[in-house]
Structure 1
Amino acid sequence: GHGHDLAPFDIYHHDKVRGLRWPVVKKGNKWVETPWRNNAQYDPYVEKGREFDFYGNNGNALMMGDLDKPGAQKVDISHKAKIYFRPYASPVEKPDAKYDLWLCTGRVLEHWHSGTMTRRVPELHRAVPNAVCWIHPKDAEAKGLKRNDLVWVESRRGKVKVRLETGGRNRVPRGLIYVPWFDEGVLINKVTLDTTCPLSKETDYKKCAVKVYKA
Structure 2
Amino acid sequence: MYLTNGKEGAYFSSGYRHIEGMKKYSAEAICELNPHTASRYGLKEGEMIWIESRKGRIQQRLKISEHVHPNVILAAFGWWDTEAEDNEYDWRKYNINILSEGDGANCPATGSVQLCGIPVRVYSEEQSWGNPPH
Q: Does 2:111 align with 1:206?
A: no
Runs of 4+ in 1 over 3 A off after TM superposition: 120-123, 198-202
Out of 196, 203, 208, the position equivalent to 2:104 is 196
Q: Does 2:73 align with 1:177?
A: yes
Contact 1:196 1:202 in 2 (8 A): no
Q: Which amino acid aligns with 2:34?
A: H
Cα deviation, 1:46-100, whole Å, max 9, x if unaligned, reads: xxxxxxxxxxxxxxxxxxxxxxxxxxxxxxxxxxxxxxxxxxxxxxxxxxxxxxx
Structure 1: give runs of 5+ residues left out of the alignment: 1-100
CA drift of 1:164 comes to 0.9
> Could you tell me the TM-score, scaled by structure 1's length?
0.47
Matched residue SS, 1:125: helix
Out of 33, 58, 61, the position equivalent to 1:160 is 58
Out of 7, 17, 21, the position equivalent to 1:123 is 21
CA drift of 1:199 comes to 9.2
**Distance across 2 between alignment mates of 1:160 and 1:194:** 16
More moved, 179-188 vs 191-200: 191-200
Decide whether aligned partners of structure 1 residues 202 and 214 sit closer, same or farther in structure 2, where only a CA change above 3 A counts: closer
Q: Alpha carbon RMSD of aligned pairs, Å?
A: 2.2
Structure 2: give runs of 5+ residues left out of the alignment: 82-93, 126-134
For 1:1-215, list aligned pairs within 5 A: 101-115=1-15, 118-167=16-65, 171-185=67-81, 186-197=94-105, 200=108, 203-215=113-125
CA drift of 1:198 comes to 7.7
Identity score, percent: 23
Cα deviation, 1:143-179, whole Å, max 9, x if unaligned, reads: 1111012211000000012211104xx8311110111
CA drift of 1:202 comes to 5.2
CA drift of 1:182 comes to 2.7
**Distance across 2 between alignment mates of 1:145 and 1:199:** 32
CA drift of 1:205 comes to 2.5
Q: What count of residue pairs does the alignment treat as equivalent?
A: 111
Q: Which amino acid aligns with 1:175?
A: N
Contact 1:130 1:183 in 2 (8 A): yes
Q: Which has the higher contact order (CA 8 A, sep 6+)?
A: 2
Cα deviation, 1:184-209, whole Å, max 9, x if unaligned, reads: 14121111231332894653233300
Q: Which amino acid aligns with 2:74?
A: Y
Matched residue SS, 1:145: coil
Matched residue SS, 2:17: helix
